[in-house]
Chain A
Amino acid sequence: MPGPIQSIERAAAILRLLARGSGRLGLGDVAASLDLPKGTTHGILRTLQGVGFVEQDHTSGHYRLGAALLHLGTSYLDANELRSRAINWADTLAARSGEAVRIGTPLDGSVLVVHHVFRPDDTPQILDVGSLLPMHATALGKVLLAYDAELAARIRRAELTSLTRRTIVEPAALARVLGQVRTAGWASEAEECMPGEASIAAPIRAPGGLVVAAIGISGPVDRICAPSSTPAPELVRDVHDAARAVSRDLMTDG
């Protein structure tokens, strides 16, 4: 039996992307969100347009879901399913890094914590699954924003609240940081959300490349960013490995 066909997986990812938010995106936005070359993205969009799954606005040139899709309903990755798939990798990340692990998905302009593993030092900690974190001030949030142009635009339009002296509140500065996140493939933050705390996160991708969640660690800034002010390379690698492992798990059966 032949394996999955990549271009079909990518087409599905584009449809999911367009199904989010107001669903009007330019070619560049789509390509950047999925980390695909523009040429490839254009080819797929044209094909989808051909079958009526995608329509193009004549004046703006933006793409949106086509009428033929309306009766197909929407699908998404169930958060509890994601936790089940990720649980072993999240545990491994906590054990290796020695820090608390969280997995987040977007919800109403915030990061919804769908999984949380305690820091393995047996100090009293409280499970915060179900709580909301600020998008622009956490590594998890930056990852989700970096790969979702629509979400990023919405956040920039809203007031970016300052949580510490270091919180990025300038829309242009945030856009620059998100560009860096896309280049690096991971995000970090030092004392932007809470004084003394830092975090690192990387994207979890569903088949096709669509970023469905972010996984990351957080802890005292002197442990996460030692000795300089940039995150420790071995921690970045651990986070990256965990994100890749979960993504691979989502690709295999499901």
Chain B
Amino acid sequence: MAQRYVMAIDQGTTSTRCILFDQRGRLVSVAQREHQQYFPRPGWVEQDAVEIWRNVDRVVPRALRDAGASAADVVALGIANQRETAVVWDRHTGVPIGRAIVWQDIRTENLVRELERAPGSERIRERSGLPLATYFTAPRLRWMLDAIPGMRERAERGDVLFGTMETWLIWNLTGGVDGGVHATDVTNASRTLLMNLATLSWDDDLLAFFGIPRQMLPQIRPSTDIFGETRRVVPGIKIAAALGDQHAALFGQTCFARGETKCTYGTGSFLLMNTGTTLVRSTHGLLTTIGYQVAGERVVYALEGSIAVTGSLVQWFRDSLGLINSAPEIETLARTVDDNGGCYIVPAFSGLFAPHWRSEARGIIAGLTSYITKGHLARAVLESTAWQTREVVDAMNADAGLRSATLKVDGGMTADHLLMQLIADVLDVPVMRPMVAETVSLGAAYAAGLAVGYWPDLEGLRRNWHLAARWMPQMDPTHRDTEYANWQRAVKLTFDWVQ
């Protein structure tokens, strides 16, 4: 019998890739294309949804060709996507109305401030699990409805459709104007501020609060579900899963049990803890979100802590300070010293995310003396990622009432051994890196393969997870406590800076 594969499309912030996996969860082929970022004004970030669709049209056949496979060899397709990015299009022509507004875009700052004062805003967190912030989708959609002439009328008539990236791709893949399926999954819907976390459906009060016509919204489905069959690009493939990228990573890391936690270390870092079927409301500044939902089963909730600046601090050290030539050299430089020399860097470049959510905070280098060398600074850069992780993990443990026994990690920064050791040290738990680094794509593939019975159950997927490296905690507890206290003092110094 010919080899059969599962296909994943990872529609990311900077690129779109298509990856084929075999039954043991091993990567068989990869095809990738970057798309353009548009910055029309300060704080605005846009992408062209048509360009992204065209990239899908290119990478999917290429990944198949590289594997020597055809559509008939693909048992299912799973989609993972950048979250919270909004696109709106004409259902009759399939043409997007303006560019997609990306999750990093902060044009809705003023709108969000106004909405905060409006009656009903106190309900948002309770219903959606999220704070009202520019980061999420609803204010973006509201901005489009207000700013684009005629849009609201067209939306109310049902002539325009809204979606996050997976919705746009599913609609196009399943036929577009010719009967395309307009659907999203619970994880993506949970990031809009419009879904009720308990009922898993669009919340009438939230729709009214944000002024969003229900007609334009996609149908909410479980993460693993047969969304439809592709009729374009490569016809005849079952679309069997969709998840937001961080949720896909949770799934790809096989964090299926309550308390299991993963952190993806890239430009920013995203820590998600599976909290099982209980909805945990955060009192410590975390987001309550959907982990994933397998069709026919209860939804699995998660707590999320997002850290805005981790890998990007390394980039800043390289590009703006010019102290290293490449990101990995930060480790070489940091290893020229034995400790931070009393120096701490808190990278609150545009405020602090979880668990502080202080938008007025700004970054600081604390403890500077004439003794400090660039080696100490490099070390402080890496330590800042470790301590920020610790703050989020502490908040999670307090909210969930359970302590994760290990941390599963992925992302570009996991190549940094000093950083991984520091994280194990400050968390006092083993840090584990899996063998497949592409956990986002793998998660989408797992979910899709599960939906069509390519893998029998979650246990079967767990058996595919293999440990590539593990770092054990080694730090002396007293030293850890002193350092943490110093870090927390440094964090406080960043508060109330912007007036």
| Complex interface: chain A residues within 8 A of B330 (CB) | 80
Q: Is B328 an interface residue (CB 8 A)?
A: yes
A78/B436 in contact, CB under 8 A: no
Task: Pick the interface stretch among A62-70, A92-100, A180-188.
Answer: A92-100
| Complex interface: chain A residues within 8 A of B27 (CB) | 92, 95
B329/A87 in contact, CB under 8 A: no
For window 93-140 of chain B, which residues contact chain A by CB distance below 8 Å? none
B19 vs chain A, min Cβ distance (A): 12
For window 100-133 of chain A, which residues contact chain B by CB distance below 8 Å? 116-118, 120-122, 125, 127, 129
Known interface pairs A95-B26, A129-B417; A79-B469 also in contact (CB < 8 Å): no
Known interface pairs A78-B326, A78-B328, A96-B26; A87-B436 also in contact (CB < 8 Å): no
| Complex interface: chain B residues within 8 A of A159 (CB) | none
| Complex interface: chain B residues within 8 A of A118 (CB) | 435, 466-470
| Complex interface: chain A residues within 8 A of B327 (CB) | 84
Q: Complex: how many Å from CA A121 to CA B327?
A: 31
Q: Complex: how many Å from CA A91 to CA B435?
A: 6
B328/A83 in contact, CB under 8 A: yes
B332/A80 in contact, CB under 8 A: yes
| Complex interface: chain A residues within 8 A of B414 (CB) | 87
Q: Is B203 an interface residue (CB 8 A)?
A: no
Q: Is B405 an interface residue (CB 8 A)?
A: no
B470/A127 in contact, CB under 8 A: yes
Q: Complex: how many Å from CA A125 to CA B432?
A: 12
| Complex interface: chain B residues within 8 A of A120 (CB) | 435, 466-468
Question: Which of B328, B332, B435, B469 is within 8 Å of A127, CB to CB?
Answer: B469
Known interface pairs A78-B332, A95-B435; A83-B469 also in contact (CB < 8 Å): no
| Complex interface: chain B residues within 8 A of A83 (CB) | 328, 415, 417
| Complex interface: chain B residues within 8 A of A88 (CB) | 437
Known interface pairs A87-B415, A88-B437, A95-B26; A80-B329 also in contact (CB < 8 Å): yes
Closest partner residue, chain B, to A119 (CB atom): B466
| Complex interface: chain A residues within 8 A of B326 (CB) | 78, 81, 84, 254
A153 vs chain B, min Cβ distance (A): 29
B437/A91 in contact, CB under 8 A: yes
Of listed B24, B331, B412, B469, residue having the most chain A CB within 10 A = B469
B34 vs chain A, min Cβ distance (A): 14
Known interface pairs A83-B415, A127-B469; A95-B328 also in contact (CB < 8 Å): no
Q: Complex: how many Å from CA A96 to CA B466?
A: 12
Closest partner residue, chain A, to B413 (CB atom): A84
For window 31-53 of chain B, which residues contact chain A by CB distance below 8 Å? none
A13 vs chain B, min Cβ distance (A): 19
B329/A81 in contact, CB under 8 A: yes
A247 vs chain B, min Cβ distance (A): 17
| Complex interface: chain A residues within 8 A of B469 (CB) | 116-118, 127
A216 vs chain B, min Cβ distance (A): 16
| Complex interface: chain A residues within 8 A of B436 (CB) | 91, 95
A181 vs chain B, min Cβ distance (A): 28
Q: Complex: how many Å from CA A115 to CA B447?
A: 31
B312 vs chain A, min Cβ distance (A): 16
**Residues of A bordering B, CB below 8 Å:** 78-81, 83-84, 87-88, 91-92, 94-96, 116-118, 120-122, 125, 127, 129, 254
18 A-B pairs with CB atoms under 8 Å apart are A78-B326, A79-B332, A80-B328, A80-B329, A80-B417, A81-B328, A84-B415, A87-B414, A88-B437, A92-B27, A94-B435, A95-B24, A95-B27, A95-B436, A118-B466, A120-B467, A127-B469, A129-B417
> 9 smallest A-B Cβ distances: which pairs?
A120-B466, A80-B328, A84-B328, A84-B415, A80-B331, A81-B328, A87-B415, A117-B468, A95-B26
Q: A81-B328, A91-B436, A118-B435 given. 5 additional CB < 8 A pairs?
A: A83-B417, A84-B412, A87-B414, A96-B26, A254-B326
